[in-house]
Structure 1
Amino acid sequence: MKYVSYLFGGLSTLAAGIYLVIYLYRWEWQRAVICGVLLLAVEGFLVCVILLGRMGRLERRLSDADARMEEVRQRLEHARETSAHPFRWLGNGNGNGNGNGNGGASGGGYGDSRDGVDGGNRTFVFVPILMVTGAALSGVAWVIQRIAAVTARPGAERRLAGRLAPLAAPSGGVHGVITQLEDNPAVPPARRLRPLLTGFGAAAGVVLLVYLVYVLSEATETREESRPDAAASTVVFRIDVHGTDDARARELAARDLWEGCRRSTSSLNPDASLGRLADGVFAGVIRPALSPHDMMRLRGCLSDASVNRAHAKVLGTGQAGVPH
């Protein structure tokens, strides 16, 4: 799910960025603003996904650490409970012996007190037995080791090696000779071509970015241009108003849109008329003729349809007549 979110966010960011540049080039400002807002929203979504993933990993680590601490605490408490009486088998429950209850001398049982020491913690019988047993076992082990050292012969080892020879791996290894760690240099050799390729890639990226900025600035810059050799410029467009089919409403929307868009050009055009050709189709004529850059701005403004509930589609543009 995480990688699907990254893929969706990356494709959305790329599409929003591409259309943002396209709408800026076409002078469709409202659509460019919408794409910019969408781009910021997708970037915020990606940042939130990354932050939530990091926070989830931190929470899981803290939960695991708390679980380990709780397990260690329970083990310590269990060890503390079990180590309170490590020699409980020497307590009163293992017999009283033949001691006399009135004589004060014990008859060999471990349940009575001796020298003021509680019988439940009495270790003066167990420790000497343990020490003597350890010394005896050590002596027996030393005798067995000496006998084995005197009687052992290399022939047994040779016979064992011969029996295990079929199980040995090939001398060169299954996949050939394996390089040892000592054969690899401590410092890898310098790669002189990689810095050159990195520098060339960085320079190409900078040049491409500068070129894109230059092209976008040329397309969106407001400047005075030479007018074409024509008497007027014409634009034919169709307009629809959402929620109504009234011809009067469409004509009002077309005139509002035309009056706003004809002022978006860099040149003055006081003579700009609008005529109705058919139901919802209008033709605008501007004198004198507009330059190609101003015509692109006028077309982008009409396609952007800044009038409320109106949608305009440019059917065609051109130059008309020859100036006198």
Structure 2
Amino acid sequence: MRKITYVFGALVAAGAGTYLVVYLYRWQWQRAMICGVLLLVVEVMLFGLATLGRLNGLEERLRDTDRRQRELDARQEDILTRLREPAVAHEERRFRWLEDPADRTYVFVPVLMVAGVLLSGLAWVVQKVATATARPAERRLAGRLAVLAAPDPAAPGDLDDLPPLGGGPGGRTARLATVTVVGAALLAALIVGLADLTQTRKEEANENEATSVVVQIELRGTDMSSDGKALAAQQIWESCRHSTAAPLRHASLGDLGDGTFAGVVRPALTEHDLMRLRGCLEDAPLERAHLTVVGVGDAEAVEG
């Protein structure tokens, strides 16, 4: 379940980041802010899940440690209780032939001594025979294991020629450095590309006389009359007149009927200004109103 949550959060974060860049490119600031807030929320959620997972792991370890400590304390108490038992309880374990003096024969200890001497002598003979017969077998075993023996540390060049296991610290450092450089390069490319797309730079003037923009407005749950649509369209149009680099002093908006309006901008807009105006119109923060740009065109200057 945790892996599914991580995968879902990563997909949501990737989608929010992608649309954040797209909306910034389109100059749609309201949608870009929403995607940015969503991306921030997902990142905080993933960080909280990772932190909660670590805390749960620490809690489980503490529980295991406490359980093992309680079991160890219980065993210690059991052993201490057994050690503190009175010596009277062990009197029943004595030999019966020591309890009655009349039954003593005084032969038990000498018999044990003689038996010990005999067993010691027999063990010495077995050891000598085993030593004499085991030397060839040990020599053959040593010859088979010689190929598996570690090289001599004193011999120069033996240990230096062996490749390090797992790549060694140098390999891990190289991989980490490579990943860091690639990540930094991708981040720098993203920042430079985004700055290039959103930068306001001086462009060549549009030689046409004017630019016409055809828009269509939709209202949800409010006044659906033509006057209400015209008022909402005029408010959005006026709020976006300052979104372009060139001042829109002569920008009129005419009603074409059925919620469609046409705006005429003089002088003609450049490509970058037109992109900014389209983004502002389609992202205008007017409540329950949505404006869509359905067509854009330039009017050529009339000669003579």
TM-score using structure 1 length: 0.71
Cα distance, 1:302 vs. partner? 1.1
Cα distance between partner residues in 2 of 1:79 and 1:197 = 54
Which residue in 2 is equivalent to 1:309? 288
Alignment-derived partner of residue 258 in structure 2: 279
CA drift at 1:50: 1.0
2:267 matched to 1:299? no
RCO comparison, higher one (Cα < 8 Å, 6+): 2
Counterpart AA for 2:255: R
Matched, 1:82 2:60: no
Q: Secondary structure at the match of 1:259?
A: helix
AA at the equivalent of 1:260: S
Q: Secondary structure at the match of 2:291?
A: strand
User: Which deviates more, 216-225 or 56-65?
Assistant: 216-225
Cα 1:4–1:137 shift into 2, 3 Å: farther
Q: Which amino acid aligns with 1:259?
A: E
Q: State the 1:155 CA deviation.
A: 7.6
* Structure 1, unpaired ranges of 5+: 98-106, 110-130, 162-167, 173-177
Matches of 1:32 and 1:153, distance apart in 2: 87
Q: What's the CA shift for 1:22?
A: 1.1
Deviation at 1:156, TM superposition (A): 10
Shift of residue 266, structure 1, vs aligned partner = 1.4
Structure 1 range deviating more: 237-246 or 218-227:
218-227
Task: Report if the CA contact (8 A) 1:223-1:266 is conserved.
Answer: no
Asked if structure 2 preserves the Cα contact closer than 8 Å seen for 1:230 and 1:323, the reply is no
> Which stretch has the larger CA shift, 29-38 or 205-214?
205-214
Instruction: Show the counterpart of 2:121.
Output: 143
Superimposed CA distance per residue, residues 106-151 of structure 1 (whole angstroms, 9 cap, x where no aligned partner): x959xxxxxxxxxxxxxxxxxxxxx999867754541331353477
What is aligned with 2:219? Answer: 241
Moved more, 312-321 or 58-67: 312-321
Q: Any stretches of 5+ residues in structure 2 without a counterpart? A: 102-108, 152-157
Please say if residues 218 and 289 of structure 2, whose CA atoms lie closer than 8 Å, have aligned partners that are also in contact.
Answer: yes
CA positional deviation for 1:246:
3.0
> Please, which of 221, 231, 234 is the counterpart of residue 199 of structure 2?
221
What is the number of equivalent residue pairs in this alignment?
A: 279
TM-score by length of 2: 0.75
What is the match of residue 70 of structure 2?
Answer: 70
Structure 2: how far apart are the matches of 1:90 and 1:205?
Answer: 76
Deviates more, 1:247-256 or 1:288-297: 247-256
Structure with higher Rg: it is 1
Deviation at 1:32, TM superposition (A): 0.6
Q: Counterparts of 1:254-273 in structure 2 under 5 Å?
A: 254-273=233-252
> AA paired with 2:207?
D
Q: Structure 1 residues 263 and 78 mapped into 2: Cα distance closer, same or farther (>3 Å)?
A: same
Residue 230 of structure 1 aligns to which amino acid in structure 2?
Answer: N
Q: Given residue 58 of structure 2, which amino acid in structure 1 is its aligned partner? A: L
Match of 1:38 in 2: 38
Q: What residue identity is the alignment partner of 1:145?
A: A
Displacement of 1:88: 4.1
- Per-residue CA shift, 1:160-207, capped at 9, x if unaligned? x9xxxxxx9xx79xxxxx876547646749999999998787666655
CA distance in 2, matches of 1:77, 1:264: 82
Provide the identity percentage: 38
> Would you say the 8 A contact 2:27–2:279 is kept in 1?
yes
Amino acid in structure 2 at the alignment position of 1:68: R
| 1:194-239 C-alpha deviation (Å, 9 max, x unpaired) | 9999878766665554444333223323455332111111111211
Report SS of the residue matched to 1:275. strand
Query: What's 1:17 paired with?
Result: 17
Q: Which residue of 1 aligns with 2:155?
A: none
Distance 2:171 2:40 in 1: 39
User: Taking structure 1 as reference, are residues 3 and 136 closer, same or farther at Cα in structure 2, changes over 3 Å only?
Assistant: farther
- Name the CA distance, whole Å, in 2 between partners of 1:194 and 1:80: 52
The 3 A distance-change label for structure 1 pair 201 and 229 is farther
Structure 1 range deviating more: 74-83 or 148-157: 148-157
CA-based RMSD: 4.1
